[in-house]
Structure 1
Amino acid sequence: MALFTTGEAVAVELPIARIATRAAAFLLDLTLQVVLGIVLVFGVEAILVSWNADSAWRDAAAVVTIAAVLVGYPAVVETLTRGRSVGKIALGLRVVRADGGPIDFRHAVTRSLSGLVDFWILGTGLVAVVTSMCSPQGRRIGDALAGTVVVHDRSRLPWAPLAVSPPWLAGWARQLDLSGLPEELALAARNYLMRSRTLTPAILDQLGRRLVIEVCTAVRTPPPNGYPPVHILGAVLAERQRRALQRSPRQAPMRPVAA
């Protein structure tokens, strides 16, 4: 398991895929790529022969076709399926961003291009195996460059905690511009809320006031007067989560944490 911090500063543990399952998925995808490559090479060759193309054109077409299969197949399929190639679907794996979110074409094509180094330059996949074994999250070079991780998609994931906004501060929080709130600060505020019941009153007040000042400075608004830090921080994080869930409606279930 590895800990991911999502865009709304929710900490979620995801089960990391290791070498055995990733290798099995890769071999299945490789089999499909070989079949697809053979079909395309012979198809393109037949077309070029019918056009009376010379050997230089046929050699160039073969190289382009093979490159398209090696790079294009995983990039296109993982983009369309949000991180699941045919092999990964069969083994229950998925490629996700470093924050646990779905990948896009940029991530997929970076992984595919880097796969030429991971798997094909040495011809043995040794680079991918060594880098994956050395990484705590099982990341090969392509994952490191793309900012992705391969996880088990079929495992039941633990529920992540949600902050709850006090009703009397919900309207104030809805007017905030949260684009300037850094991830690190949002996570620090969340950790404060989750530990609030274990802190002494003095530490709770001192640490909370400091976080409120930093958060309100980041969102460019003065803190509301007369409310304890746990209420203010809870309102800010709850509103941040509400907006994130609106942008990505298909989220795992989450349990609330009282602010």
Structure 2
Amino acid sequence: MTQAGASVIQSDGMTADGIGRNGAPRAGGVAGTALDVSDEQVVVGEGVALDVRPAGFLLRAVSSLIDAVVTIVIAIAVLWVVLWAIANAVDNGARIENAALIAIVLATQIAVLVFVPCLIETITRGKSVGRYIMRLRIVRDDGGAAGFRHALIRALVGFFEFWSTSGGIAMITGLVNARSKRLGDIIAGTYAQNEAAPRLSPNLGPLPPGLERWATIADVARMPDRSARRMRDYLIQAPRLEPGARLHAAGTIAREIKDSVHPIPDVDADTFLRAVAAVRRDREWAAIELRRARLARVEPILEQLPHGFPQRG
């Protein structure tokens, strides 16, 4: 690792002394400081961090709105059937007290607003109509499947969280929580997982010129998945970023991955990220092609019948 290369990615594409490449003093006057934007990890009981994607606030809000509309429609339909049955009973001479009528209506509402969502979520293993449409699923904090206990707690708390406050508590807790959890999720120990497959990323471009020799000896295979994902997201969004934001983001991510790359080339942070991404992509593609070629060579041996056994099909 060269001293110049190490100083390039120390902080936001600036040198270690706080002076930019154009000789201008660095804004803020503090060298080497960066905002920690690492996301919350999902760690199972064995201490293994899972690479999962919690659902964002907007997805959860749309899912909850769909579920609320479906629940209201079901509640109106069930309540209409109950009242129709009561009216028929009264017409046939039955006598129903007002207290009993109120109890029946309240029991019907609780059944529709609490027990029906709990039952559906338990049977579908964390799904609902809204979550099915938005491709979400409720899981435990350790990534395991949620059960009846979790669904019951979420439904009971959701009765007050959604219907008593018109969703205000759920919105506040979802906005301030790292995984967009609502109050019921916090108490039950669950969160919403995004099951939608990520879209294919566009071509990140060729290897930056002048780094061909470095690419033949660079070690870039030890990078954590989260760091590689952040680097890919930056390279996709970089053309739409303002110059200042792009400089800061490139420096932050470059500092995060520099310990996984050796040697570090003497380039700016943005070029460094594009070079690392290009080398990783080319080597992964070469490995895929090599595996495909090896399988093609042994495919006749794997598919042929032993000892000249005749082909009967």
The TM tier, using the shorter chain, reads 0.5 to 0.7
Aligned to 1:72: 115
**One-letter code aligned to 1:26:** S
Q: How far has the Cα of 1:10 moved from its partner?
A: 2.7
Q: Distance in 2 between matches of 1:82 and 1:153?
A: 13
Residue 36 of structure 1 aligns to a residue whose secondary structure is: helix
C-alpha displacement of 1:138: 1.2
* 1:98 alignment partner, one of 136, 141, 147: 141
Who is 2:104 aligned against? 61
- Mapped to 1, the partners of 2:40 and 2:192 lie a distance apart of 11
Partner SS state of residue 72, structure 1: helix
Q: Is the 8 A contact 1:33 1:73 kept in 2?
A: no
The answer for the alignment partner of 1:50 in structure 2 is 88
Letter paired with 2:187: L
| Alignment partners' CA distance in 1, 2:40 and 2:84 | 50
Counterpart residue identity of residue 114, structure 1: V
1:13 paired to 2:72: no
Distance 1:144 1:56 in 2: 36
Change over 3 Å in CA distance of 1:18–1:137 after alignment to 2: same
Q: Does structure 1 residue 30 correspond to structure 2 residue 68?
A: yes
- Counterpart of 1:63, as a letter, is L
Which amino acid counterpart does residue 158 of structure 2 have in structure 1?
G
Establish whether residue 86 from structure 1 lines up as the match of residue 124 from structure 2.
no
Question: What is the CA distance between 1:89 and its match in structure 2?
Answer: 0.5
**Residues 79-228 of structure 1: pairs in structure 2 closer than 5 A:** 79-123=122-166, 125-155=167-197
CA deviation after TM superposition for structure 1 residue 8, in Å: 4.0
Query: CA RMSD of the aligned region, Å?
Result: 2.2
Q: How many residues align?
A: 159
1:31 maps to amino acid: V
**Separation in 1 of the partners of 2:116 and 2:41?**
30
2:192 match: secondary structure: strand
Q: What CA distance in whole angstroms lies between the structure 2 residues aligned with 1:14 and 1:84?
A: 17
List runs of 5+ in structure 2 lacking aligned partners: 1-38, 91-95, 199-223, 226-259, 261-313
Find the aligned partners of 2:77 and 2:163 in 1 and give their Cα distance.
21
Which residue of the partner structure matches residue 189 of structure 1?
Answer: none
> Shift in Å at residue 154 of structure 1?
1.9
AA aligned to 1:148 is T
User: SS of 2:113's equivalent?
Assistant: helix
Partner-residue secondary structure (3-state), 1:67: helix
Large movers: runs of 4+ above 4 Å: none
- CA displacement at 1:105 relative to structure 2: 0.5
- Indicate the residue corresponding to 1:190 in structure 2: none
The answer to whether the 8 A contact 1:2-1:15 is kept is: no
TM-score after normalising by structure 1: 0.57
- CA distance in structure 2 between the partners assigned to 1:109 and 1:14 by the alignment: 24
Structure 2 CA distance for aligned equivalents of residues 73 and 19 of structure 1: 24
Deviation at 1:155, TM superposition (A): 3.1
What amino acid sits opposite 1:42 in the alignment? W
Amino acid at match of 2:69: T
Question: Matches of 1:146 and 1:48 in 2, distance apart?
Answer: 37
Question: What is the rounded CA distance, in whole Å, between the counterparts of 1:118 and 1:13 in structure 2?
Answer: 30
TM-score normalised to structure 2 length: 0.47
Inter-partner Cα distance in structure 2 for 1:71 and 1:46: 22
Is the strand fraction higher in 1 or 2? Answer: 1
